[in-house]
Structure 1
Amino acid sequence: MNVLVADDDANILAGIADFLQWRGIDTDCASHGAQVLELCRQHQYDVLILDIMMPRVSGLSACQQLRALGVTTPILFLTALDTLDDKVRGFQSGADDYLVKPFAMAELVCRVEALSKRESRQMLRRLSFGPLALDVEQATASREGQPLNLTAQSFKLLKHLVAKAPRAVPREELEQLLWGDNLPNSDALRSLLYQLRMQLDKPFSQPMLTTVRGIGFRLTLPRDTHANETEL
């Protein structure tokens, strides 16, 4: 399990991170909401644990922005704000759970594990990355609610890219996934990627499928292409 914890109190942040890591949970840390947004563009997490009162971008705002981007990662607010109105605002912003400080570490871990298991069960049926959603059982995909007309091979390719997103996937890994040791020709993957991009990117203003020079291919959130990346 990979968790992101965000809190502007360095002592609380370190304490949570140490305990989660002791429990075998990989943990990244952030001290403000803007850092949360940047890390979520670079990595895919199983659960986000966010304080609400953070500088630069609050936990509420970070949650709202992530949900607006289509990020469905479970979010748990861990905060000193304890009124009913505070909790209602938290859930209305898109949170999945809410835990008030002070808290017991054991309870926090139980809640994180429950959120992760719930998400894992849902991922057996669906995958998502930003505005992109896949129904695994039906082998269908959509971006911003608009259906994508994909062949079986294109869906298989997209499913793998979504599962790995936002990490880059080497060309060799994709070729092995699609054809095993029976690669039709050297341009087969390029042709399939072109077909996928015609459905995934061409109808929209911002591309998601990019080439990472010297590495392979990856999906990015719109407006998140880096200097060493190009559109296909």
Structure 2
Amino acid sequence: MQVLIVEDNRDLAANIVDYLDARGHVADTAGDGVTGLHLAVTQDFDAIVLDLGLPGLDGSEVCRRLRDAGIATPVIMLTARGEIEDRIGGLELGADDYLVKPVSLRELEARLRAQVRRAQGGLEQTRLQVADLILDERTRSVTRAGQPIQLARLDYQLLRLLLRESPAVVSRTRLETEIWGDTPPETDSLRSHIHRLRRVLDRPFKQPLLHTVHGVGYRLAALDELSE
């Protein structure tokens, strides 16, 4: 995701940028409403994180001007104020979601992803596919070449993430955080899960789909996608 962070608290903005960067996203920042509005209007972003209490133009005015200009980029508004009136006001001005500080960075990223999927029409997608490998999120079923594949819960979650990001490389750090949160196991459990996935997804078939990118992470892709 390409994300614009409009936040005058430099420490918070830096924390958000560092977190998103570590998860494979790209984040730009603005420390006031005027700069944030200019960047949002002149550049393309997948989502905007917008502080309500900004110098220059406050977040509500920035959001209103964006919507008046016909810019539909998803906006998640941040504020230190938790009153219901602030939440309603931000949503009525065109914000798509709302978080009260202090913000959980993990929750913020999850909400950003949800808003981007909604904007791209992907919320209703339940069928993820690479080559002849299909995962149906509605039924939690997995098949390859029409053959059912049984997966344990964590293996299923790992496969779903790799399918959602395919054919991009997903870093080890991100995979571990998605599966185990902020407390990954001390042992290299990720390698064990990848080994089990490769055994059931690839070994019975001619074409491998699960690939290791040494020093980075893993990707799920067909051979023709690897050559692009």
TM-score normalised by the shorter chain: which range applies? 0.5 to 0.7
Would you say 1:107 and 2:107 are equivalent positions? yes
CA–CA distance in structure 2, aligned partners of residues 81 and 69 of structure 1: 27
Give the deviation of 1:78 after TM superposition.
1.3
Structure 1: tracts of 5 or more residues without a match: 123-232
Give the deviation of 1:14 after TM superposition.
0.5
CA–CA distance in structure 2, aligned partners of residues 53 and 41 of structure 1: 20
Alignment map for 1:199-218 (pairs within 5 Å): none
Who is 1:40 aligned against?
40
CA–CA distance in structure 1, aligned partners of residues 87 and 39 of structure 2: 25
CA–CA distance in structure 1, aligned partners of residues 4 and 82 of structure 2: 22
Task: Kindly provide the CA deviation profile for residues 26-74 of structure 1, in whole angstroms up to 9, marking residues without a partner as x.
Answer: 1000001101111122211110000000000111000000000000001
CA–CA distance in structure 1, aligned partners of residues 76 and 121 of structure 2: 18
CA–CA distance in structure 2, aligned partners of residues 40 and 78 of structure 1: 16
Would you say 1:53 and 2:83 are equivalent positions? no
CA–CA distance in structure 2, aligned partners of residues 3 and 80 of structure 1: 21
Q: SS of 2:99's equivalent? A: strand
Q: SS of 1:121's equivalent? A: coil
Alignment map for 1:1-232 (pairs within 5 Å): 1-121=1-121
CA–CA distance in structure 2, aligned partners of residues 40 and 102 of structure 1: 24
Structure 2: tracts of 5 or more residues without a match: 123-228
CA–CA distance in structure 1, aligned partners of residues 42 and 75 of structure 2: 17
Residue identity over aligned pairs, in percent, reads 37
CA–CA distance in structure 1, aligned partners of residues 64 and 54 of structure 2: 14
Larger Rg computed on CA atoms: 2
The CA RMSD over aligned residues, in Å, is 1.0
Task: Kindly provide the CA deviation profile for residues 179-201 of structure 1, in whole angstroms up to 9, marking residues without a partner as x.
Answer: xxxxxxxxxxxxxxxxxxxxxxx
Kept after mapping to 1: 8 A contact 2:46/2:74: yes
Aligned partner letter, 1:60 = S
CA–CA distance in structure 1, aligned partners of residues 90 and 81 of structure 2: 10
Q: SS of 1:78's equivalent? A: strand
Task: Kindly provide the CA deviation profile for residues 147-187 of structure 1, in whole angstroms up to 9, marking residues without a partner as x.
Answer: xxxxxxxxxxxxxxxxxxxxxxxxxxxxxxxxxxxxxxxxx
CA–CA distance in structure 2, aligned partners of residues 113 and 33 of structure 1: 23
Runs of 4+ in 1 over 4 A off after TM superposition: none
CA–CA distance in structure 2, aligned partners of residues 73 and 42 of structure 1: 12
Give the deviation of 1:17 after TM superposition.
0.7
Q: SS of 2:103's equivalent? A: coil
Q: SS of 2:110's equivalent? A: helix
Give the deviation of 1:120 after TM superposition.
1.2
Task: Kindly provide the CA deviation profile for residues 209-230 of structure 1, in whole angstroms up to 9, marking residues without a partner as x.
Answer: xxxxxxxxxxxxxxxxxxxxxx
Kept after mapping to 1: 8 A contact 2:41/2:71: no
CA–CA distance in structure 2, aligned partners of residues 113 and 41 of structure 1: 21
